[in-house]
Structure 1
Amino acid sequence: MTKYRVLFLDIDGTLVTPDNKVEESTKKAIAEVQSKGIEVFLATGRPLHEIDNLASELNIQSFIGYNGAYAIYKGEDIFQEPLEKSLVKRYIEIADVHNHDAVFYTNKENIFTNLDAPFIHDFIEVFHFHKNKAYSPEFDHDVLGITLINLKPGDVALYESENDIHLSQVNVEGLRHCYDVIRDTINKGYGIQMLLKYLDIPKEQAIAFGDGMNDKEMLQAVGESFAMGNGHRDIFQYAKYKTTEVTNSGISNGLKMLGLVE
């Protein structure tokens, strides 16, 4: 019987390869830990309404979405933490002045500032988003997460002037101009802490895998943390272990290190 009780997996660059597939070794490893009674969560910056097929394929019913703003455990909502309406309005103004684009995630839809922009077409194609709408102010109070699109590195400071906010570059090939908006107090680490408390599980019995800087707090919130070999250059210092790339059985090899899969 294993001492571990819960496993948190980032999606893009961790669970899913650049061509949007899950390796057979990864599927097998997830099924094996589930058979040992370990609850598997998808912990992602993605909106949860866009991952139904992936969750069904892997027999996963528990989630942290929107970079820690919304959690579901076996179909039950545990918490939702929308962004302040004033912040959403401020970011709309900054994006408009500097010709940036953005997507605002609600718990039902992806709200884009400009559905006709080339960068947004690329973004939607990479993530296979389907529930897309054009922005209007009626959505301001329902926003759980934001990704800013078409930014240059020097533009990041425009948005980080807000208190308790930092941007995390999306670690997906071809989308280096995109940044997730991360709250210092509401992030994947916060989501894990809330869930571990709800499930009465000590952090030492929790495992996490990630590859991007939006996974930093998540990797610090568990006892056993793995950075993928393809991870952002700055993420490795926050993980206990480094595993192989997402295209080279990274999750399976990490779980082998813990003796959880053969």
Structure 2
Amino acid sequence: MAERSVIFFDIDGTLLTHDKKLPALTKEAIFTLKEAGHEVAIATGRAPFMFEDLRKELDIHTYVSYNGQYVVLNGEVIDRNALNLPSLEKLTATALENDHPAVYMDHEDMKANVPEHSYITESMSTLKIGRFPAHNSNYYKDREMYQTLLFCAEGEEKQYERKFEDFDFIRWHPVAVDVIPAGGSKAKGIEKIIEKLGYPRERQYAFGDGLNDREMLSSIYHSVAMGNASDEIKAVAKHVTESVEDDGLYRGLQLVGLL
């Protein structure tokens, strides 16, 4: 049996298929890891309320959400990193001038700054979470926001990257990008958990496939890129497994000796 380790899993394209299904072998693997005494955690760009059902199904209570901006260990919030409010107000004004809507997100809910927009519908529907953001253009003004979604076509985020140094922009859909505090990442959120749990570097594992997994996969000692990841992401990982559609997570766990 392998030594007890901590393993971080991305959700979309890693735990879940592109149709947002949880493969039977993936679920079996998670519980096998837990029964062996390993610490199993999630590291995602999603909001906490976007994967509550998955956490319950897999009995996982430790997670990095919002690409590292909201971190929970065994059900307790241990780190928060909110967006700069004055900069968010300026970003909102610029985006509205460009007909680029935004969705503001805290740990409990999300609200859009426009009543409706085709980009919001197109991208949010791919998450299959059963909810869309209601309209409240002032939602961000009296609470901490950990991530904002900016809806614009590929390449259009460049103008925002040049203008807003307080934020990082990470594309997750052809018409949508995550806006997070500059320098924030899943890797930074994972550091907060590791500080508490104390697992040595050689007993840390991470699985992912997206652009927002780059820092995580390049910093974690045993990193595994899914077969459906881009070549750019595969290049920074230590191992590459099969596609999520081909039980890549289960096979990846076998590859690194955890199963």
The TM-score, its normalising length taken from structure 2, stands at 0.93
Which position in structure 1 is the counterpart of 2:42? 42
1:236 deviation in Å?
1.4
Give matches, 1:227-246, under 5 Å: 227-246=225-244
**What SS does the corresponding residue of 2:7 show, helix, strand or coil?**
strand
Give matches, 1:1-80, under 5 Å: 1-80=1-80
Distance in 2, matches of 1:43 and 1:248, equals 21
Indicate conservation of the 8 Å contact 1:8/1:42, yes or no: yes
Q: Which runs of 5+ in 2 are unaligned?
A: none
What per-residue deviation string (whole Å, max 9, x for no partner) do you get for residues 236-262 of structure 1?
12111111111111111110012222x
Indicate conservation of the 8 Å contact 1:109/1:133, yes or no: no
Which position in structure 1 is the counterpart of 2:159? 158
Q: Which runs of 5+ in 1 are unaligned?
A: none
Which position in structure 2 is the counterpart of 1:169? 171
| Equivalent residue for 1:196, pick from 194, 197, 208 | 194
- How many aligned positions are there? 256
Distance in 2, matches of 1:117 and 1:196, equals 40
Over 3 Å counting, the alpha-carbon distance change for 1:258 and 1:21 in structure 2 is same
Indicate conservation of the 8 Å contact 1:108/1:131, yes or no: no
Which position in structure 1 is the counterpart of 2:212? 214
Indicate conservation of the 8 Å contact 1:166/1:183, yes or no: yes
What percent of counterpart residues are identical?
31
**What SS does the corresponding residue of 2:250 show, helix, strand or coil?**
helix
Distance in 2, matches of 1:104 and 1:95, equals 13
Indicate conservation of the 8 Å contact 1:4/1:206, yes or no: no
1:164 deviation in Å?
5.4
1:70 deviation in Å?
0.6
Over 3 Å counting, the alpha-carbon distance change for 1:125 and 1:205 in structure 2 is same
What per-residue deviation string (whole Å, max 9, x for no partner) do you get for residues 214-254 of structure 1?
11111123110011111133211211111111111111111
1:88 deviation in Å?
1.2
Distance in 1, matches of 2:125 and 2:107, equals 20
Quote the RMSD (CA, aligned, Å): 1.7
Distance in 2, matches of 1:207 and 1:231, equals 17
